[in-house]
Structure 1
Amino acid sequence: MSSSTLNKEGNRLFQQGRYGEALSYYQRALDLDRRTGNPWNLAATYLEAINLLERVVEIDEKYHLPKLSENRMRLERLRQSGKGGTRVQS
């Protein structure tokens, strides 16, 4: 499978809300060809996962996620670096 095909499949899965699966395809695309794979897709997938986790905690404050603070720090670093875009390309 080409990196372009892997990216397109990742995009399809991302749009379906299947972020973990999309992440796997995006990573494979980057591993196969760093020039064709799109790191923005990886960033968007991580950001969406973090946003979903934060919403879960807002809905149920008793829901404890040990890594939530670590994920928030990663999100903040992405935002500060200017690489926190949510653009998904095909």
Structure 2
Amino acid sequence: MNNWIQLSEKEKVESINRVSIATGLPNAAIEKDWWVTMSLRALFSCECANHIVFKGGTSLSKGWNLIERFSEDIDIAIDRAFFGFEGELKKKQINNLRRASC
């Protein structure tokens, strides 16, 4: 799968076309799914992998095969303990974080 990056543009198009013919899926969906898969591989290969939760519709599709779905987004959550934040947040801290993130 990693070798795909090293293919020429022509080889990439041919590869995507072959998968499209075999699956009946549009070329754009196949390429997007490849990038989603590679992004997940990178995320779960990093040092924070044990602190990441993969969630949402894409996880139901790719992780559990419960639904058929192609998505351009990946919903993840990272345990804040990984960043050194322990204990419960106070309501004021939560509100401050929400304001700062907007």
TM-score by length of 1: 0.33
Greater strand proportion: 2
Higher relative contact order (CA 8 A, sep 6+): 1
TM-score by length of 2: 0.30
Q: Which has the larger radius of gyration?
A: 2
